[in-house]
Chains A and B, each alone.
Chain A
Amino acid sequence: MAASPESVRLEAITKRFDQTLAVDALSLVVRRGEFVCLLGPSGCGKTTTLRMIAGFVEPDAGTISIDGQDVTDRPPNRRDIGMVYQSYALFPHMTVFENVAFGLRMRSVAGAAIAERVTAALALVDLAGLERRKPGQLSGGQQQRVALARALVIQPSVLLLDEPLSNLDAKLRKRMQLELKTLQRRVGITTIHVTHDQEEALSLADTVVILNGGAVEQVGTPRDVYTRPRSAFVADFLGRANFMAGRVSAPGPGPDGVTFVADRGEVLAVREAGTFLPGATVQAFIRPERVELRRAADGSRENGLPGKVEQVLFTGSLVTIEVQTTTGRRLVAERPSSGSEAIYEPGDPVQVVLPAEALRLLADAGQGGSDRPGPAG
C-alpha cells in the first residue's frame, strides 16, 4: 500500500446527463481507513458520484485518484474497488462460494489460496457453512453479507456501498448497520457509503458529506453537521428542526452573542452568532430535543415564549409535543418518554424555552423555508 494518508481524491468532477447536471464540480478527499457517507435526497448526485469512483460512469470533467494514482481513464475492472449494490447483484447461477471467489478468480489467484480466502471472508461476515447454497436460497440479510464478503475478499483499495441496506426491513437494517460499522473498523478499509437515510449516515460515518443538486453542501463529523449545519438545507435534511425567519438586531448579550428578532416579533438571545452582523436577514433554527418546556406559572425565563400545548404524540422512546405560542408560531419539542418531567396534555398553558446556546443562525437563502408551520420531517 502507498504511504499516502489519502485514499480517494475527487477533483471538480462533473457529470451531465442530457440536459441535467447530475454532479457539479464536486471535490472531495477521503483519508485511508475513513468511513465516509454520501448523504442527500434522491437526485442529489450521490449515486452518480459513487459510480464515477467505481468507473461505471465517466466524468465529463475533473479527475479521480485512488491511492495517489489518477484512475479517471481506467476501466472499472482495473480500479481495485469492491462494490456492494442495493440489489446485492449476486450471480444467481453460482453458489455462495463461487460468488465470493469470483473476484479472486479474475485476479488469477491460485485455487488453494482462493479456498482459504473465501472461507475467511465468509467467516468474517458470519456465513461459514453456507458455501454450497445458491443466492436464491438465502434470506435478504444473508445475501447482503455474501455481497459484502465478495467485495471484501479481494482486499480492494476502497469499498463502495450503494445503499446496501435499504432493501432490508427496519430491524435487520439496524443490526446490519452495527455489524457493518464493526466490520469496517476491524478491516480498516476505506469505505464510501451512499445513502438517503440521515440516521444511517450519522450512525455509520466518520465523515458525512451532504450533497444537494450535485454539489457538496457540507462536510463534517456526524455531530458537527447535525449540531452546526451550515445551511437550512442541511439543518432540514438531517432531522427535525424548528425554523424562524427574522433578522439580527443588536450585538450581545455575551461576547459572541446577538439578539435575534423573529418575523412575529419574538426577541431571542443567541449565544453564538457566527459571522452574522446586526441588520442581517437570517433564519434561526433549533432542534426539537433542545426545546424546553416549563409550566406557565414558573415565571418567565430567557428566551421563554408563552403558549399552549396543541398536540402530544407518543412515539415509543420519544414524546413529541407541539406548542403554539401566543404569537401564533408552532414549535415542536421532543422529550424522552421515560423522562421524569411533567406530563403535558393538549390545552395546557406552557412556556417554551429556546435556550440561547441551542439556537443557531443560518443565512436566509436556504430551502428550510421561513416560518413553516410544522417541524421539518
Chain B
Amino acid sequence: MPRRARYRADGGVLLRLWCGVVFAFLLAPIVIIGLTSFTGGETVAFPPTELSLRWYAKVLAHLADAPGVKPGLLGAFLLSLRVGVVVAVGTSVAGVLAAYALYRFRIRGMAILRQYFLIPLMLPQIVTGIALLVWFSQLKSVGPLTRLILGHMILTLPYVILTAGASLEASRPDLEEAAIGLGASRPRAFFLITLPLIREGVVAGAIFALIISFNAFTVSYFLYSGDALPLPVWVFEYMAYFLDPTLAVISTFLIAITLLAVILLDRLVGIRQLAGR
C-alpha cells in the first residue's frame, strides 16, 4: 500500500517530540538551578543530595549584611533596581521621541537612520563597554551612578524604539492630524491621541529596558565603582571566591522576579500582541 503524505495542521508525532526536546533544552538549566538551591550540601550539585533551606538562610544573612558573609548584596540589589527604574523611564522618553521621528517623519535616508539607532543591539557589549569607559574617563565630572544609567540607556534604547515604533506603524497618522484639525496643538495631539494609542508598545519597551538593565553585566563591569556596584557585578565577584549554592538561591530569586515581570507584562498588554507585531 502506498504511503500518502498527509497535511496535518498540528504537526506529526516527530514534530511534537522535537518541540518537546527544544523546550526541555531551554528550561532544563532553570529547573536545575531552582532545584539546586534547595540542596543541603556544601557545593553546587545536581541532583541535590539532601533537601534543606540552609542556603536561603545564608542569603538572608547576606541581605542583612551579617558578619562573616560577603557584604553588599542588598545594596547591589537596590542599586540595580534603582538604575533599572531610572533607565526604564529615561529610555522610554528618549525611545518614544526617537521612534516618533523615525517612524512618522518622511525624510530622505530615514531607513538608514533607523538602522543607526539599532547599532547598540548589534555591537558586542564588550565593545560598547570599553568605548563608554574611555569616553567617561574623559568626562571626569560624570559620577559612577550616572555612568551606569547612561550606559544602560544606550543598551536599552533600541528595544523601546522597536516596540514603540511597531506600535506607531500600526497606529494611524491621520488621527493625530484630525486632532490638530480640531484645534489641538501638535504636542497636545500627541499626548491625547498618539501616546494613548501606542501605550502598549511603550510599556513593553519600558519593561524590556528594566529587565535588560537589571541583568546587564558586561557593560556594567566597565562602568561600576565601589559605591555603585550593580547586582550582576556583585554576583560575579562572589563567584570569583566562592562556589557554593548561595548563587543558586540568588538566581532562583532573579528568575522569580523576571517571571513576575513577564506575567505583569502579559496582564498589562498581552504577550501575544507583542509577538504578533
Contacts and interface: CB of A to CB of B under 8 A. Distances in A.
Interface of A: 54, 56, 75-78, 81-83, 85, 87, 89, 91-93, 102-103, 106-107, 150-151, 154
A154 B180 CA distance: 13
A77 B178 contact: no
Contacts of B183: 77-78, 103, 106-107, 154
B197 interface: yes
30 contacts: A54-B181, A56-B177, A56-B180, A76-B177, A76-B181, A77-B180, A77-B182, A77-B183, A77-B184, A77-B185, A78-B183, A82-B182, A83-B178, A85-B174, A87-B172, A87-B174, A91-B179, A91-B193, A92-B175, A93-B197, A102-B179, A102-B182, A103-B182, A106-B179, A106-B182, A106-B184, A107-B183, A150-B182, A151-B182, A154-B183
B273 to A, nearest CB: 15
A87 B180 CA distance: 16
The residue in A81, A92, A151 that gathers the most chain B C-beta atoms within 10 A of its C-beta is: A92
B196 interface: yes
Nearest to B182: A103
A247 to B, nearest CB: 51
Interface residues of B, number: 18
Contacts of B175: 89, 91-92
B167 to A, nearest CB: 13
A56 B182 CA distance: 12
Given A77-B185, A106-B184, A89 B178 contact: yes
Interface of B: 172, 174-175, 177-186, 188, 192-193, 196-197
Contacts of A151: 182
B106 to A, nearest CB: 11
A91 B171 CA distance: 11
Contacts of B192: 102
A75 B184 CA distance: 10
List the 8 shortest-distance A-B pairs measured between CB atoms, nearest first: A106-B183, A103-B182, A89-B178, A83-B181, A89-B174, A106-B184, A77-B180, A93-B196
B190 to A, nearest CB: 12
B177 to A, nearest CB: 6
A87 B176 CA distance: 13
Contacts of B197: 92-93
